């Protein structure tokens, strides 16, 4: 027996020794060998700062875009850096390379963990779908954002803009400057607009203190601005999501509420559309099958949801391309105007110039075409969306080995030779810096960080700016290619309509003392917060005074 025990001891000792050796080997491979094996390991980039956070902690501690801009200034527009847990990340702000990735969007889908996160927050919609599912959804959704639809919806935008005006006036006494959190109230107005124009639902967010669906939307975006180690680990290792957090519980309840109410909306809207079709059938051939006739415009509702459902029932749409009910619900989204008013406070002379243009319009309820015909309003909107892109970046992953073309050659750190293209291996994570593309000085003529609407009024852009990919002018705010934003025209006319009413009615200025505003990323969207008051969430207080000509 003692001899048997003695024979086992070396085995246990070897096991105990092998465990730390294994961990050390894995550590060396992950952090020192694996990075050198990537297809882009010859690119310049910073040294690793943390074995857990890589270079991410420093990037995330800054406002969106600031940390990456510092990397660009030091290493150039195309570089590499270290992500979480030794993961490597490829970064490029080279317009030609980004254009290639976005315009070949189905070869460069979002990473799986990002899609899961988006689906958890927003449902099964265009933002989370990929490949054939995305193509099927987009074919249906894009028809719901036509120019004619937006033209029909413009009076809805104007109506709620005037409701917002009345709300501001009710908060102001004796025409005195009054402190108002414009972010909260513009957010409420936007919810009302999206509710009416999107799916014929009345949030009444400007009129009532509480609405169940509005509250659910709000909760989905309140949390998530602070990135914790547990959140990172859950993103990489989904099985850890069994560990509950306040954020996951709140988001789960909110999403369940959105799906429940959304399901009711879809069911009611389906019945309304079918009733409309029955009426059409009764007036025509009673034996004709109840289906939508392509090209018909007389439908029961003009909201997006009605249009989606009607398009989804079209006779020439194969069953494999129809949207399921949950997918229809997942198309609901929102937009914010707050940063535009912030820019107006920062540049009072621009605010005055825009107001001077707007007050000359004789029609108090202008049409879409009248709004789009105002040149300085258009320039202000373009400049706002360039400098304050709501979504500052996006991630893509290569689905196959490929080669990215470059508009600006880079120096190979291994042999010192210039590179005009970069080989990309399947599985490579690619960071697309929307905000950096919109603001880098060497792309925008040296004043990329300055709010200057005049740049959009007949000026010649640099060759680099002309190469910035985008579905709408020379900016990446709405990106480009098959994943470009289908609702960008809706957002633009909404902004113009609300600005038209507010700037003709009020003067906006910073509070005194002026809060120290910081930009904080919260569930993909850049939102303003006040330094020292982060616990209060997103806010943007301004002094609002009635405009008296």
Three-class HEC string of 326-339: HHHHCCCCCCCCHH
> What six digits make up the tokens of 190?
């936007």
How many CA atoms, within 13 angstroms, populate the side-chain half-sphere of residue 549? 8
SS3 assignment, position 38: coil
Helices (runs of H) and strands (runs of E) counted in the chain: 21, 11
Yes or no: say if 196 and 156 are a contact pair by the CB < 8 Å rule.
yes
SS3 assignment, position 518: strand
SS3 assignment, position 128: coil
One DSSP character per residue, 296-323 reads: ----S--SHHHHHHHHHTBTTS-GGGSP
The whole-angstrom separation of Cα 276 and Cα 300 is 6
- Number of other CB atoms surrounding residue 128 within 10 Å: 22
One DSSP character per residue, 411-435 reads: E-TTT--EEEEEEE-TT-EEEE-HH
The whole-angstrom separation of Cα 240 and Cα 321 is 35
Element (H, E) at 220: helix 212-222
> What six digits make up the tokens of 259?
């799906």
Yes or no: say if 110 and 277 are a contact pair by the CB < 8 Å rule.
no
Q: What is the crossing angle of helices 488-505 and 375-387, to 10°?
A: 110
How far is the CA of 66 from the CAs of 43, 346, 393, 520, in angstroms?
21, 19, 12, 12
Element (H, E) at 345: helix 338-346
Task: Kindly report the backbone phi and psi dihedral angles of residue 522, in degrees, each rounded to the nearest multiple of 5, phi listed first.
Answer: -135, 105
Pairing mode, if any, of strands 178-181 and 541-546?
antiparallel
Closest by alpha carbon to 544, among 111, 93, 170, 39? 170
How far is the CA of 372 from the CAs of 305, 358, 376, 381, 434, in angstroms?
25, 12, 10, 11, 25
Residue 278: CB partners within 8 Å, gap ≥ 6? 290
Is 485 marked within a binding site? yes
The whole-angstrom separation of Cα 209 and Cα 228 is 32
> What six digits make up the tokens of 15?
């096991």
The whole-angstrom separation of Cα 157 and Cα 152 is 10
Which residues sit in the known binding site for heme?
485
Binding residues: 485
């Amino acid at each position: 027996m003692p001899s048997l025990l003695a024979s086992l001891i070396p085995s246990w000792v070897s096991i105990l020794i092998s465990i730390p050796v294994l961990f050390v080997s894995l550590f060396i491979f992950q952090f020192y060998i694996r990075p050198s094996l990537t297809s882009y390991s010859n690119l310049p980039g910073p040294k690793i700062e943390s074995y857990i956070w890589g270079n991410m902690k420093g990037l995330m501690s800054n406002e969106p875009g600031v940390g990456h801009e510092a990397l660009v200034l030091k290493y150039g527009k195309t570089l590499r850096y270290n992500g979480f847990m030794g993961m490597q990340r490829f970064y490029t702000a080279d317009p030609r390379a980004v254009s290639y990735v976005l315009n070949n969007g189905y070869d460069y889908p979002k990473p799986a963990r990002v899609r899961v996160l988006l689906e958890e927050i927003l449902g099964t919609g265009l933002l989370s779908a990929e490949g054939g599912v995305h193509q099927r959804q987009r074919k249906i959704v894009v028809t719901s954002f036509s120019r004619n639809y937006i033209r029909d919806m413009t009076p809805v935008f104007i109506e709620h803009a005037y409701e917002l005006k009345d709300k501001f006036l009710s908060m102001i006494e004796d025409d005195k400057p009054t402190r108002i959190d414009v972010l909260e109230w513009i957010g409420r107005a936007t919810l009302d607009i999206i509710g009416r124009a999107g799916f014929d639902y009345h949030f009444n967010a400007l009129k009532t203190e509480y609405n169940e669906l509005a509250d659910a939307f709000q909760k989905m975006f309140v949390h998530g601005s602070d990135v914790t180690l547990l959140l990172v680990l859950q993103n990489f290792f989904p099985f850890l999501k069994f560990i509950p957090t306040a954020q996951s519980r709140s988001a789960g309840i909110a999403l369940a509420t959105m799906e429940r109410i959304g399901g009711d909306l879809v069911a009611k809207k389906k019945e309304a559309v079918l009733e409309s079709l029955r009426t059409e059938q009764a007036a025509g051939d009673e034996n004709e099958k109840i289906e939508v006739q392509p090209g018909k415009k007389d439908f029961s509702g003009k909201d997006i949801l009605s249009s989606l459902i009607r398009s989804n029932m079209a006779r020439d749409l194969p069953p494999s391309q129809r949207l399921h009910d949950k997918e229809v619900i997942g198309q609901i989204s929102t937009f914010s105007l707050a940063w535009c008013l912030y820019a107006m406070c920062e540049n009072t002379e621009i605010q005055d110039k825009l107001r001077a243009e707007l007050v000359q319009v004789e029609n108090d309820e202008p049409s879409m075409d009248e709004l789009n015909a105002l040149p300085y309003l258009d320039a202000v909107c373009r400049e706002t969306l360039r400098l304050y892109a709501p979504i500052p970046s996006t991630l893509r992953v290569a689905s196959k080995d490929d080669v990215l073309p470059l508009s600006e050659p880079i120096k190979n750190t291994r042999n010192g030779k210039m590179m005009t293209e970069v080989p990309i291996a399947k599985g490579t994570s690619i960071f697309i810096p929307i905000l950096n593309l919109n603001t880098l000085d060497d792309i925008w003529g040296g004043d990329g960080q300055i709010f200057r609407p005049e740049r959009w009024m007949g000026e010649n852009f640099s060759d680099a700016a002309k190469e910035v990919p985008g579905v709408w002018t020379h900016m990446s705010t709405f990106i480009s290619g098959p994943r470009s934003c289908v609702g960008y025209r809706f957002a633009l006319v909404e902004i113009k309509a609300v600005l038209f009413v507010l700037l003709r009615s009020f003067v906006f200025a910073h509070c005194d003392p002026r809060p120290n505003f910081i930009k904080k990323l919260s569930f993909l969207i850049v939102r303003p917060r006040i330094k020292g008051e982060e616990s209060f969430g997103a806010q943007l207080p301004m002094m609002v005074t009635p405009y008296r000509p």
